[in-house]
Amino acid sequence: MNKIRNIIVLEDEEIVSLSINSCLRHAGYNVLMSYSNVLDLLVYLKTNKIKPDLITVDIFLSTKTNGYQAVEIINDEFPEIKIIYISAYTDNETMKKIENTTHAAFLKKPFKESTLLKTIENINDLVLN
């Protein structure tokens, strides 16, 4: 399995999205796209040859479809894509849903850039080993 290179960001808070993008690009990752809604992300995944190795997913989006629903669709259609859930919420229900997702990790908001990068390294190591 290949090392993570291409990433898509799914985040509806613009300042958070910009921060994640800047961190990832500075660390040498290729940010393919950033989306604030699930529909645009799914259109990209279904119509572009270049697929992401990883998608960062805000769980609670301000749109009809939330991050959990997005990941269910992604896992069904593109099971090779790894996921990092991002949320300020760490209640039991949220954490149980995340634990039931394959190739996924969780990052609690707010987070340091170094924590994001370490989470990417960790999810890559889990899948490669």
Residue 2 scores a pLDDT above 70: no
**Residue 21 Cα to chain centre, angstroms:** 12
Q: Determine, yes or no, domain membership for 1.
A: no
- The contacts of residue 99 (CB under 8 Å, 6+ apart) are none
Q: Determine, yes or no, domain membership for 60.
A: yes
Domain of residue 46: give its range.
6-128
CB environment 78-110: b (16+ within 10 A), e (fewer): eeebbbbbbbeeeeeebeebbeebebbbbbeee
Q: Determine, yes or no, domain membership for 121.
A: yes
Q: Determine, yes or no, domain membership for 41.
A: yes
Residue 103 scores a pLDDT above 80: no
Assign residue 15 the CATH number of its domain: 3.40.50.2300
Residue 129 scores a pLDDT above 60: no
Helix (H) or strand (E) holding 107: strand 104-108
Backbone torsions φ then ψ of 58, nearest 5 degrees: -70, 125
Can you tell me the mean pLDDT for 97-118?
Answer: 88
Q: What is the pLDDT of residues 36-71, one digit of tens each?
A: 999 999 999 999 999 999 999 999 888 788 888 899
Count of structural domains within the chain:
1
Scanning the chain, the segments in alpha helix (DSSP H) are: 14-26, 38-47, 67-77, 92-99, 113-128
**Confidence label for 96 from pLDDT (cuts 50, 70 and 90):** confident
Q: What is the pTM of this model?
A: 0.90
Give the CA count within 13 Å in the CB-facing half-sphere of 44: 20
Asked if 38 and 62 count as a contact pair (C-beta separation under 8 A), the reply is no
